[in-house]
Structure 1
C-alpha cells in the first residue's frame, strides 16, 4: 500500500540520519533472515557450515548472500539433502544461484579472476548434512513472547501500521539497535517451572496409546515427532501484573520460534472458566454465595439442545443431582447443571462475555455460547487465564500483563516504561473479589481442588476437565502469585478415562508452586487483606430453597432443605421473609400432611415447602406439596 511505502521511506531516511551506511549494512547482516531459524550471517554460517564467519570460504559466503532473496527456495541444506524430484535438480538451484553471486562480485571487481575461478569449484563449500544445533537463548518461550510485546510497543509509539513487514523491521531494530531491555522474568521461578515440567514422571496416558506421539509435517516434507501430552504454565505477580515465568512446552525448546502453547494455542479450559465468567459476575450483579441454584435434571431456559428445546448439561462423569444448592456449593463441587442455571438466571451469556473481555481475554478466544462461557469450550490461552485469575486476587482490578519493565536506548535514555503505560481497570467490586476468593478457597479446602493445598500458604483455585478428557487444567492463587496450567494433546485427542484436573494438572501446579514459595522464603499471606466487614459484607441466614430470609418454618423444613448462613453485601441482603415455607401439621409415620386418620401422638408441626406452579421445582415435587 502507499501508506506502507511512505512509512518504509520515512524509516529509511531516519536510519540514514542516525547511522552510517556501513553501520546500517552491519545491522542488516546481523539480523537478516536466512532460512531455518537463522537470523544473521553469523548464525547462518554456524547452521549451514558449522563454522565461524571468519572461517568461511568465498563460495560459502556467496551461498549465504544468495539465500537472502528467497530463503526457502535457496536453502542449501534442504536443496542438498532433503529435497528430491525427477523434474527438478535442487542441488543445481543452489549452485547456479551461488555462481550468479560470484559472477556479480567478479564483474563488479570485488574479487579477482583467480578468486572467482577457484570459488566456482563446488568442493570449496562444505554444507553440513547434520545441522549444528540452533543457538537458543535461555527461557526462549518467555523471551520470544517479550520480543513480540516489545514489537507491539515500537509499532505503537512510531505510529506504524501493524503489518508483517513493519513487525520484521521493528524486530530487526530491537535486535541490533543497542537497546537495553529489562524483562519482568524471574529466572528462579522460570527455572523451577521448566525443571518441574521437564522432569515430571506422572503425566497421564492417552486413551489411544498411538496418540502418545504427535507427528507434525514440516514444510520440506519431513516429520517432527512431538511427545504427548503437552503442557503449558504461567506464573504472574498479580499485584504488579508482572509475568514471572512462561513455559510453553513439556521440554525446553531446542530451537528458536517453536510452538509456545502458553500463547499460541487456544485449547478449551473446561470448568476453570466458571469463577471468571459465571460466579464472580453473578456476585457482582447482586447474588451471594448463598443464592439458590438447581442441581437437578430440569430444563433451563435459554440452554437449548440441537432442536432448540430447553435442556440442561449433565454433571461431569454423570455426577449425582443433589437438588437445590447454593452458588458456593455449586462452584465447590463444580456441578455443571447448577453452573448453567447460575449463568442463565443471574448473568446471561452477553454479560459473561463482557466480563471475560474486561478480565483480559481476547474476543477471538471466547465461544460466546452458554456452553462456551460456563463449561469452558472457549479456547483461552494460559497467559490470559493466569491474568484473569489475577484480576480476582487483585481486588477485582485488571492490570495489563507485563513481560518487560522498560526500554532504554544505547545512551541510557528511557524510551518506554511499562508500568507507566500499563492499562488498568476495575472489573469487579472489591467485595465481589473477596467473596469469589472465599468460594475458591472452599473449592481447595473441601471441594474438587483439595490436592492443591500447600502447607503454610493460602490457596484458592478451580480445576478444569474437558469433556472426554480432552485436556485438563487448574487455575489458582496464593497470597503471592496466580498461575494457570494446561495439560493435554496438541491435536485435542482424549487422555485416559481417569484423567481429571485434580489428578493430572494440580499435582504439577502444586509441585512448582511449593518450590517457588520455599525458594523465595515467602510467608503465608492472605490473597486479599481484611475481613468481610471491611468490604461491607455481613452474614445472613436465608432459606436454601427460596433464597429469602429464613423463618422458623424454613429451619423446621419437613424435607430437610433447611437454611444457610453466608455472606451478603449489605445492599443486596434479602428484605423479604421466605414465601415458600409454611408451618403445617405432618403425620410422622408417612411424612405427609396429617389427616383425620393420623394418630394424635404422631402429628408434628413442620415447615412444609409450597411450590407454586411454574416454579422449576414443581415437576419434581409430589402434587400434595404443590399449590397454585
Structure 2
C-alpha cells in the first residue's frame, strides 16, 4: 500500500513540474510571438517608411535629358596649313570626343572587365552587386567595402555631378540608370561614359588620356595601353603614370589586374595576355615644341588666330565676347590656319637669336631691350604664313604682339602706298618724271625752315621718280604729294589697302609721319598689290572653323575681302622701281636686300626701307614673287638707335627670307602687256637731246619703262652747251660765261643743266647742299677777269660776241669728263 502511495505522489509531482514548464514555454512563446510581431510591425513600418521615402526620391528624381547627354567642355584644336596640330585650346577641362568606330574593342573590354563585368546583361542596375553593396553599407554604418555601381550608374553620376553618399542619391541614380538603359543602346552608354571619365589633371575622356599618357590617338592604343588607361579612373592621383615613378609602378600593377580579369572573362587569349604583360609602357613625357602650344604659352600666331575667330564668331552669330570665348574654349572646335610651320620655325629661331639683337647683351632690363617684329604673307592668297611679335622667347599668352598690334610710324616705307603707287596709277607721273629736289618750306609753323628734310641733309637737284624711290628722297615724295596727287586721292588709295587716314591729310602723312602708327601686318598686306597684279587681299590667319561634328561654322575664304587697287602696269612699274632699292639703293647695304636660295641663285626681290625721325624706328617691307615680309626694329620706349643698329630690321628680313627661299626656284616678277621702253634723259625725263650723253656726271641717257601712251614726246631742254672761262668763277665755284675778251687758252665749251623752273634760294647758304647746283648754267654771268684792256694777244673769237652761235661738238674744246661729284645713276634691271 505504501508503495502505491509513493508512486502516486511522484506522478503528481511530475505533473506539477510539467505544467509549470508548459506555462513558462507558453509565456516564452507568447513573448517571442509578441517580439516577432513587434519586429514585423517595426519592419513593416520601417519598410513602409523606406518604401515611402524611396517613392518620394523617385518622384523628385529628374530623368537625364538629351541636352545633358551632349558632351561639353571639349578641347578645341588649331592646325597649320598642312593639317598638323599646332595648339590645343582648353577651358576648365581637357576633353576630346571620339566616335564609336575610333574606340578599340580592347579598351571597351578593359573598362567592362574591371568596372562592370555584367554590363551587357543588366538593365542599368546589377541587382546582386547592388544588394551586396547595400548590406555592406549597413553593416559598416555607411561605409561600403566595395561599390555596387554599374557603368551606367557611373555615367549618371558623371552627367549629374552628384556625388553625395546618401540613400537618396543611390536610389535616384539607380532609377536614372534604368531610364538611360531604356533610351540608349549599350554602345551609346559605354561611348558616352568613356568620353566623360576623368584621368586626372583636368584631363577627361579616353582620347585626351591617350594623348596625355602615350601621345597617341585612342584608335592606335595597344592592349597593354588600353588596360593602363582603364586602370587610372579608380583614383587618378594614385594611378596616373605621368605623376612620377611610384605612380608608374602602381599603374602597372593595376594594369596587370585588369589584364587578368580580361583573360578570366574570356575577352583576350592567353597569348594576348602574355604579350600585353610583357610590353613596356612608354609613358609620354611632354616636352615643349616651339611650334606647338600644348598647355602653357601660345605662340604669337595662335594668339592672333584666337582673337580673329572670336571677332568673327561675334559678328556672324551676334553673340558677346564671353559667349564666343565659351564656344572657342569648350566646344571642341577645329581651327584650320594659314600658318606654314616651316616658315614659323625659321622666324622663331631668328627672333630668339641674340646675335640679331646685339645691343641686348648689355641691357639687363627686358623693357629697355631692343625689340623687333615681322610678318610674312603669301601675296597670291593673302594668307599669313608666319609672325613673330618681339625679341626673345614668348613668356605669356596674349602679350603685346608687335607684328599685329603695335602702332609705330613707318617712315619712308609708307611712300609707295601713299604717294607713288597712286600717282603712277592715275597717270600723274611716270618713273621718268623729274622733280627738283631743292629746299622747300611746307611747314606753316616754321616758314623759314626747310621742310621736309632729306635723310642725308642734302639735296640732289633734278631727280626722277625712280631715283626718288631708290634713294628715299623726302622732297621728291612731298612735291609729288602736294603738286601732283593731293591728299584726297592719297587717302582714297590708302583705304583700298584697308588703311584709313581720313584725319591725316597732310604732307607728313605722305612721308610716313603718322598720328596713328602701323604694324608689320598692315604694311605687308598693303604691299601685296605690288606683287599680285594690283589686287589687294585681306590678310587672313585661318581658312575655316568646324564644330566637333565637322560642320563648318566659319569659312574665312568665302568672306575674305579683295579688291583692285592698281592697274597691272602700275604694280609692275612700282616693283621695277623698288628693285633698284635692293640692288643699288637704301636696302643694298651689304647685299641685305638680296635673297638667294640654297644653290646661291638670286631670287628677284623689291622693297622699301623706312626710317623715322631721330632714328627711332627702322622698317623694311620687301617681297619676292613668293612672299611679302615686313620687319620693324626699335625700342618699346622710342629712342635713337645706335649706328650699329641701323640695318637690324633689314638684317632680320634678310635672314628669314633667305631661309624661307632656300628650296625655291628662281622666279621673276611677271611683266604685263601695255608697257613700252624708251630712252630718256634722267635729268629732264624727256627724249634725249644732243647734249644728254655729255652731262658732266656721265651719260644721262637711260632706258625706262612707260605705260603705253605716257612715254615722253618732247626732247630734253635741260642740257645746254655754253662757252666758259675756266679762270673766272662765281661764288659757288662755277666757271662764268666767256666774253669776247677771254683768251682762247681759258675758254672751254661745256655741257650745263638749265632748270625748267629756276630755283631762287631763300637761304643762299643752302645752295651748296644742292648737289647739281655746280652743273647749272650761270645764266647772264660773264667773265669778270678779262676785258679789252687785259687782252695781250688776239681774243678767242674776236669776230664773235658772247652770245654768238656756239660751235657744234668737235669744233671746239669740250669737257667730256665729269668736273664734280659723280652721282649714282638710274639703271633699269
TM-score of the pair, normalised by structure 2: 0.53
Matches of residues 507-522 of structure 1 in structure 2 within 5 Å? Answer: 507-518=651-662, 521-522=663-664
Aligned match of 2:650: 506
Alignment-derived partner of residue 369 in structure 1: 506
Post-superposition shift, 1:372?
Answer: 2.7
Paired with 1:139 and 1:244, the residues of 2 have a C-alpha distance of: 16
> Which of residues 607, 623, 627 is equivalent to 1:477?
623
**Does 2:369 correspond to 1:203?**
no
- Which of 348, 352, 374 does residue 194 from structure 1 map onto? 348
- Look up the match of 1:90: none
Matches within 5 A, 1:108-123: none
1:135-214 mapped onto 2 (5 Å cutoff): 136=295, 140-158=299-317, 160=318, 166-205=320-359, 212=363
Specify the alignment match of 2:260 in structure 1: none
| Bigger Rg, structure 1 or 2 | 2
User: Bigger relative contact order, structure 1 or 2, given CA contacts below 8 A and separation 6+?
Assistant: 1
Local SS of the residue matching 1:535 = coil
Note the C-alpha offset of 1:110.
Answer: 8.4
Which deviates the most, 586-595 or 337-346?
586-595
Residue of structure 1 in register with 2:92 after alignment? 41
* 1:344 shift after superposition: 2.4
Distance in 2 (alpha carbons) for counterparts of 1:111 and 1:415: 40
Tell me the residue number matched to 2:443: 304
Contact 1:136 1:256 in 2 (8 A): no
Distance 1:472 1:21 in 2: 57
Unaligned runs of 5+ in 2: 1-64, 77-88, 95-161, 167-287, 729-734, 768-772, 782-829
1:355 is displaced (CA, Å) by 2.3
The yes-or-no answer on 1:466 pairing with 2:580 is: no
Q: Structure 1 residue 338: deviation in Å?
A: 2.7
Q: Distance in 2 between matches of 1:598 and 1:325?
A: 34
> 2:306 is paired with a residue of what secondary structure?
helix
Q: Is the 8 A contact 1:343 1:374 kept in 2?
A: no
For the 8 Å contact 1:312–1:340, the answer to whether it is kept is no
Whole-angstrom CA distance in 1 between matches of 2:684 and 2:66: 75
CA distance in 2, matches of 1:137, 1:233: 23
- 2:416 is aligned with 1:275: yes
Once the two structures are superposed, residues 294-319 of structure 1 have per-residue CA deviations (whole angstroms, 9 ceiling, x without a partner) of 333x215xx21523567322222x44
Please list every run of 5 or more consecutive structure 1 residues that lacks an aligned counterpart in the other structure: 1-17, 31-37, 44-108, 114-132, 215-224
SS at match of 2:558: coil
Equivalent-residue separation in structure 2 for 1:41 and 1:248 (angstroms): 28
Alignment partner, residue 573 of structure 2:
435
Alignment correspondent of 1:383? 521
Q: 1:19 to 1:267 in 2, by over 3 A?
A: farther
- 8 Å CA contact 1:581–1:608 kept in 2: the answer is yes
Is 2:736 the partner of 1:567? no
Report SS of the residue matched to 1:406: strand
Task: Give the 5 Å matches for 1:547-562.
Answer: 547-557=685-695, 562=700
TM-score, normalized by length of structure 1?
A: 0.69
1:542 partnered with 2:680: yes
Given that residues 29 and 41 in structure 1 are in contact (C-alpha distance below 8 angstroms), is that contact kept between their aligned partners in structure 2?
no
Q: Distance in 2 between matches of 1:275 and 1:601?
A: 51
Distance in structure 2 (CA, Å) of the matches to 1:367 and 1:599: 60
| 2:391 maps to 1:233 | no
Hey, what's the Cα distance between the residues in 2 that align with 1:332 and 1:291?
14
| Cα distance change, pair 558–262 in 1 and its aligned pair in 2 (3 A) | closer
Residue 266 of structure 2: aligned partner: none
SS of alignment partner, residue 335 of structure 2: strand
Find out whether 1:20 has 2:67 as its counterpart: yes
Distance in 1 separating the partners of 2:351 and 2:454: 30
Q: Distance in 2 between matches of 1:435 and 1:42?
A: 55
Note the 1:216-231 alignment, pairs <5 A.
225-226=366-367, 228-231=369-372
* Inter-CA distance 279–552: structure 2 relative to 1 (3 Å threshold): same
- Does structure 2 conserve the Cα–Cα contact (< 8 Å) formed by 1:184 and 1:404? yes
CA distance in 1, matches of 2:66, 2:457: 69
Contact persistence 2:529–2:535 (CA under 8 A): yes
Counterpart in the other structure of 1:355: 493
Q: How far apart in 2 are the matches of 1:352 and 1:395?
A: 20
User: Where do residues 513-532 of structure 1 align in structure 2 (5 Å cutoff)?
Assistant: 513-518=657-662, 521-526=663-668, 528-530=669-671
Distance 1:367 1:493, change over 3 A: farther
Change in 2 beyond 3 A, CA 1:581/1:254? closer
Native 8 Å contact 2:90 2:330 kept in 1: no
Structure 2 equivalent of residue 217 of structure 1: none
- Alpha-carbon offset, residue 168 of structure 1: 2.2
Query: What is the DSSP-based 3-state SS (H/G/I as helix, E as strand, rest coil) of the residue aligned with 2:390?
Result: coil
> SS where residue 550 of structure 2 aligns?
coil
